[in-house]
Amino acid sequence: MRGVRARNGPPENVIAFPDRTAQAQLFPMTRYRHEIGADESRRIQRFLYVVAAGTTAFVLILLVAFLTADRWLLLISHESERRFVDRYVMLVKDRFLEPGDPVLQDYVEDLTRRIAADMHPPQDLNIRVHVVKGPPNAAATLGGHIFVLEGLLHVLDSENSLAMVLAHELAHCINRDPLRSVGRGLLLDIALSSAGSGGLASSQLLIRRYSREQEAAADQDALLALNTHYGHVGGATRLFEALRPFDSKSLPDARGSVREMVSTHPAVNRRIEAIRTSAADNGWPALETRPYPDEVRTALGSADPSSKP
């Protein structure tokens, strides 16, 4: 039955509350308080200890893996490395790079094969050379892939100086430098991601740059290969002499690829001096260099202007 409203009041059979204070007095509510007992306190402490120990162990594992990467990464075979990276190398080559002149491709590929024979690479290391259009640069990456930009052949004026660069990149592949750099970069990515930071830029920096020790070792291996192949080390410092004008003051006006090449090959003067000192210590003379074959010079003369420095 509905309540009947009084003239100046609420309907009958309906309880009216003048204010919230009266309502609270009729229906009192008790504020909840959780008392933590001794057993529960011990369980919480144990949980926090486990979290802290797990975090510490994770950081220590990453640190040990990072510091010992040079050892355990070498357990990966060249064949496994090649199978992993081939699809990505081909993707980049097909989508972003323009193939170079076939004459230059054949020449650089043949020269690389001849120099590699004097460096005795592992049997399962399959070296593949890619000559592509672009300003001067060269790089070795995972899986034994070596990229040579056509502009490099314009900067280097002899077969000997080109052989020195190719031997340097071959040394990086033989010494597993790309794999070591990538491995450390991935570990750094994991660590930075766990800390809430983006690690991609850092890993790319590590991938692009080799350590001073790796560069020095590659220089020495290349110098030995150059002397073994030609009987002297003429042309060994030609690339660095060509890069020397692009110092820190002139870099802002240099072309992007040249600027990148200088930044990833620091201390040019020091490396020139180290090469000359090593050659003198070993009694390796610097004799007359061998010019490019006629067909190579013809191909370079008709090259795309964008490939010239």
pLDDT tens per residue across span 201-216: 433 433 457 888 999 9
Please indicate whether residue 65 or residue 192 has the higher confidence score (pLDDT): 65
Average pLDDT, the chain: 80
Q: Are 189 and 202 in contact (CB under 8 A)?
A: yes
Q: Break the chain into its structural domains and give their ranges.
A: 41-75, 77-307
Q: How far, in Å, CA of 125 to CA of 113, rounded?
A: 12
Q: What is the pLDDT of residues 117-147, one digit of tens each?
A: 999 999 999 999 999 999 999 999 999 999 9
Beta strand 145-149 with 128-132 is parallel
Residue 171's pLDDT band, with cuts at 50, 70 and 90, is: very high
Give the pLDDT confidence score for residue 22 in this predicted structure: 57
Q: How far, in Å, CA of 81 to CA of 183, rounded?
A: 12
pTM > 0.75: yes or no = no
Residues 6+ apart with CB under 8 A from 182: 142, 203, 206, 207
Please indicate whether residue 212 or residue 236 has the higher confidence score (pLDDT): 236
Reported residue count of the chain is 309
Token look-up 């220089």 returns 219
- The proportion of the chain whose per-residue pLDDT surpasses 70, expressed as a percent, equals 69
Q: How far, in Å, CA of 146 to CA of 90, rounded?
A: 12
pLDDT at 191 over 80: no
Q: How far, in Å, CA of 80 to CA of 39, rounded?
A: 53
Instruction: Give the ranges where the chain is alpha helix by DSSP (H).
Output: 20-26, 38-67, 69-72, 78-96, 102-119, 150-155, 159-174, 177-194, 200-208, 212-230, 238-243, 256-264, 268-282, 294-301
Q: How far, in Å, CA of 252 to CA of 280, rounded?
A: 35
Could you tell me the two tokens for 46? 């144990």
Q: How far, in Å, CA of 100 to CA of 251, rounded?
A: 27
Could you tell me the two tokens for 88? 């990505």
